Structure 1
């Protein structure tokens, strides 16, 4: 896997130079001129730890969570106060962990952000099914939340047991969501679980829409090396057939494909913290992507708080992009939406897409991975599967290695990818 991603990186960046992350940080972040800037806030606390989850998380305690939120708000002010006035941003997403464990302080966090930023496209938050109660939903809505992402994983008992999850009460879920409406209600599911069939996935998608969702996300199961999961991976052919079947089903029932793994029943429904040109991340493990650099904060809650107490940025590692590296990062995550518009690429980089990657675009069309219409490139079903297939290599070669290191060391010296 490492060899595949290494060769791809060298080809697309036209260089043998690796992605080099160093233990350095900028006290001032150059985001004032970034268009299409998004925001992300990470809250790492959970009541229990799911064996398959790779994200930065820690067991909840009221005292630790309170200290962390205090530090988080200080980090927001530390970054936001660097420019005069308020910066216009697209969206704000809360992830975790289980952010709803801090539901009573979400408004305080949003208020701090709104002292420095104007949010134009809504605020989303990830929730555990146990969080879907009228009381919690009212608190979140009054705080300014407009989008929900509920981590169902599967409604079916056989898969819940495999994942070590408790079942979601459909009646309670539906009743709470009908009492407190939101612009987007997305439900997340894992596909490519052992023995999972199209019928299993179809039943989950149907149940989601019946329970009040207007958006679903079908994320592939990825076996991270540092998790405790022992589930076997599904074979390539079986996985492709399953992805193609559920994609066709969602499209045939009137859904719009909004990304590789997400489908919206209503046009306005959207939920994606990934497909943004630039973003600022707040909290431990949060990443920041700017014009010429990528940063990731320390994974250690205690070291994060210590850095903030010193009025320093909590960055653990920083990558300074070469121009080609930044282009590849841009294209990889833009393609997540299943479409790439050359006009957007040229506006961002000041150079035509075909001049930089004309050969690759022709190959993508010849191999049946993409189609071109009105100058815009869109993925075919085949292209979407192979994007997913390569993304699995990317995740295990890059993200798995980086997160695995950061889970062990709060501030590693450097990392080459």
Structure 2
């Protein structure tokens, strides 16, 4: 896997140099110069730990959570206070962990961010199914939340058992969503689980929309090396057949595809913290992406609080991009939406996309991965699958390695990918 990603990296960046992350950071962050800036807040606490989940998380305690939120608000003011005027930000997403465990403090966090940013396209929060009750939802809505994403994973009892999740009270979820409506109600599912069929996944999707969802995300199961999960994903051929079949089903139902994994029943329903040109992250493991650098905060809650308490940023690692490295990063995550607009690329980098990657685009069209129309490249069903297939290699070669190291060491000296 590392050979595939390394060869691809060398070909597209025209360099043998790896992506090198160093234990260094700028105290003043260049987000003021960024257009299309998104915000992200990570709250790492969970009531129980799912063994398949790779994200930064720790068991919940009220005392530790309050200390962490205090530090989080300090970090927001530390970074936001670098500029005298409020900066426009397209969106704000809360992830975790289980952010709703801090529902009573979400408004404090949003208020702190509103002192420094103008959020134009809504605020989203991830929820565990246990959090979906009218009381919690009303607290979030009163705080300014406009979108929610519920981590269902599966309504099927056999997959709930495989994933170590308990049965979901669908009647309670429907009643809560009816009582407290949001602009976007998204539900997350895992696909490519062992033995999973088209009927299994279709049943999950139908149930989601019947309960009040207007957006769904179907993420592939990825077996990270540092998790304790014993689950094996479907083989490639079965995975492609399942993804193609469920995509065609969503199209027949009239749902629009907004990214590789997401479909919505309304054009204005969207939930994605990934497809943004630049973003600013707060909290443990949160990442920030600017035009010339990418940084990631420490995964360790105690170290995060100590670093912020000293008046310094909690950055663990930083990479300073070459221009081609940044282009690849932009293309990879923009393609997550299934479309790449040539003018967007040229406006961001000041050079035509075809000048930089004309041969690669020609080859992708020849292979049937993309179609071109009015300056936009759009993935075919085949292209969307192979994007997923390569993203799996990327995740296991790059993200798996980095997160595995950072889970063990708060501030590693250097990582090469």
1:367-382 correspondence to structure 2 within 5 Å = 367-382=367-382
- Measured against aligned partners, the alpha-carbon deviations of 1:339-377 in whole angstroms (never above 9, x if no partner) come to 000000000000000000000000110000000011110
Aligned-partner Cα distance in 1 for 2:173–2:93: 22
> What is the Cα deviation at residue 232 of structure 1?
1.2
Aligned to 2:95: 95
1:323-338 correspondence to structure 2 within 5 Å = 323-338=323-338
- Measured against aligned partners, the alpha-carbon deviations of 1:126-184 in whole angstroms (never above 9, x if no partner) come to 00000000000000000000000000000010000000001111100000000000000
Aligned-partner Cα distance in 2 for 1:34–1:68: 28
Give me the CA root mean square deviation.
0.4
Aligned-partner Cα distance in 1 for 2:25–2:168: 42
SS in 1 for 2:30: coil
Aligned-partner Cα distance in 1 for 2:305–2:317: 17
Aligned-partner Cα distance in 1 for 2:269–2:308: 36
Aligned to 1:292: 292
Matched, 1:402 2:407: no
1:269-288 correspondence to structure 2 within 5 Å = 269-288=269-288
Aligned to 1:35: 35
Aligned-partner Cα distance in 2 for 1:380–1:35: 29
Aligned-partner Cα distance in 2 for 1:205–1:379: 23
Aligned-partner Cα distance in 2 for 1:165–1:17: 43
Aligned-partner Cα distance in 1 for 2:375–2:326: 22
Aligned-partner Cα distance in 1 for 2:168–2:146: 22
1:337-376 correspondence to structure 2 within 5 Å = 337-376=337-376
> What is the Cα deviation at residue 84 of structure 1?
1.2
Aligned-partner Cα distance in 1 for 2:381–2:314: 41
Aligned-partner Cα distance in 1 for 2:96–2:278: 20
Aligned to 1:224: 224
Matched, 1:385 2:385: yes
Aligned-partner Cα distance in 2 for 1:10–1:270: 34
Matched, 1:301 2:296: no
- Measured against aligned partners, the alpha-carbon deviations of 1:362-412 in whole angstroms (never above 9, x if no partner) come to 011000000001111000000000000000000000000000000000000
1:210-221 correspondence to structure 2 within 5 Å = 210-221=210-221
> What is the Cα deviation at residue 233 of structure 1?
1.9
Matched, 1:114 2:114: yes
Aligned to 2:14: 14
Aligned to 1:81: 81
Matched, 1:62 2:86: no
SS in 1 for 2:64: helix
SS in 2 for 1:32: helix
Aligned to 1:144: 144
- Measured against aligned partners, the alpha-carbon deviations of 1:288-317 in whole angstroms (never above 9, x if no partner) come to 000100000000000000000100000000
Structure 1 alignment gaps of length 5 or more: none
Aligned-partner Cα distance in 2 for 1:25–1:367: 41
Structure 2 alignment gaps of length 5 or more: none
Aligned to 1:258: 258
- Measured against aligned partners, the alpha-carbon deviations of 1:193-239 in whole angstroms (never above 9, x if no partner) come to 00000000000000000000000000000000000100112100000
Aligned to 1:155: 155
Aligned-partner Cα distance in 1 for 2:202–2:217: 13
